[in-house]
Structure 1
Amino acid sequence: MTITLKLETLTAEAFKPFGDVIEASDSVQHFTINDGNTERYHDLANIEPGQDGKAIVSIFRGLPRTLPFTVEMMERHPKASQAFIPTNGEPYLVIVAPAGQAPKADELRLFLAQGTQGVNYATGVWHHPLMALNKIGDFIVIDRKGPGDNCDVIQLEEHAIIEAL
């Protein structure tokens, strides 16, 4: 059996059970700095490097996915959060499920992120790897470097499908 995922708009409120939306928005704390030249959108994500971990910054380059797309696996990072911030302004997809036991296909949520929105997956939240859409996508990634394995990967018993947007 295959579940068809329903596309949702990425908002801070809808994504709250899974982590943070990273974006310049009037709904977040912001203030002017640098003699009035810069607006600072402040403290947008709860970056957690975990015990004995160090927060690191990387660039991930993702090939675009083709729709329809079958979701067969999910992953999580049990020791730390992981943030993705797009650099090319292109929309991308975010697939998540609550932290805890391995998710079932009907527990997955699908969000359309705009190219001005990043996401920070909270520690232990299940998510699908990078889902660039229209072209190769570069993302600044803030995650953990440290001892121990910080990536669990599972195959879904039932698959989910993303049809057209």
Structure 2
Amino acid sequence: MILIPEPLTAAAFAPFGDVIEVGDGRTHYAINYGRTERYHDLAQLDVLENDGKPTVSIFRSQPAQFPLKVEVMERHPHSSQAFLSMQRKPFLVLVAPPAEQPLLEQLRLFVVGADQGVNYHRGVWHHYQFSLDEVRDFLCIDRSGGYGGNCDEYRFVEEVYIPPHPHPFPRKG
């Protein structure tokens, strides 16, 4: 199976989570005496189950080598997990809906724009974060502590690939 990326939109990504971005359709209002526009409550963070607590981390990811063989996906049964590129550059996310295991026919590959982030909802299968062309830092908001395992992995026996792509990646719109 060869996966081709599609632009990230809120509607297309809704079965998997939230798109974190500014826009006219988002709740926003002026703060700081009119000098700042606050775009409010952009993701449904879900981290408190089983005595978990919210945590903010930075994940430093190595660049992927394309074609990329997809060997494993993971899910977090007790929490959401949000990612934003600290370098404000596009990246890819590979997702599948919550299920016992990720199904090949339900895999979706999205291009996350430089001005976007993602928040995976609880139980959504996703590939771990990777950079496209350089070491990249991702701000991650997720769960720590609590009880109960919060990371399930699935290893593919099928051959699934993300082919090489020209840069820059296509933008949404």
- TM-score (ref. length: structure 2): 0.90
Aligned residues: 163
Matched residue, 1:37: 35
| Aligned match of 1:140 | 139
Match of 1:6?
A: 4
Name 1:25's counterpart in structure 2.
23
1:127 paired residue number: 126
| Structure with the larger strand share | 1
1:153 equivalent to 2:159? Answer: no
Post-superposition offset of 1:6: 2.1
Structure 1 segments unaligned to the other structure (5+ residues) = none
Q: For each residue in 1:3-36, what CA deviation from the matched residue of structure 2 results, as whole angstroms up to 9, or x when unmatched?
A: 1112110111110000001112222111111111
Counterparts of residues 9-158 of structure 1 (less than 5 Å): 9-51=7-49, 52-145=51-144, 146-158=146-158
**CA distance in 1 between partners of 2:48 and 2:158 (Å):** 31
Which amino acid in the other structure matches residue 162 of structure 2? I
Find the residue that maps to 2:157 and give its secondary structure: strand
Pairwise CA distance, 1:139? 1.0
Q: 5+ residue gaps in structure 2?
A: 166-173
TM-score, length-normalised on structure 1? Answer: 0.94
Q: Which amino acid aligns with 1:131?
A: F
Q: Measure, in 1, the Cα distance between the counterparts of 2:71 and 2:24.
A: 37
Q: Does 2:164 align with 1:164?
A: yes
Identity %: 50
> Is this contact kept in 2: 1:10–1:112, CA < 8 A?
yes
The runs of 4+ residues in structure 1 deviating greater than 3 Å are none
Deviation, structure 1 residue 67: 1.3
d(CA) in 2 for partners of 1:50, 1:80:
7
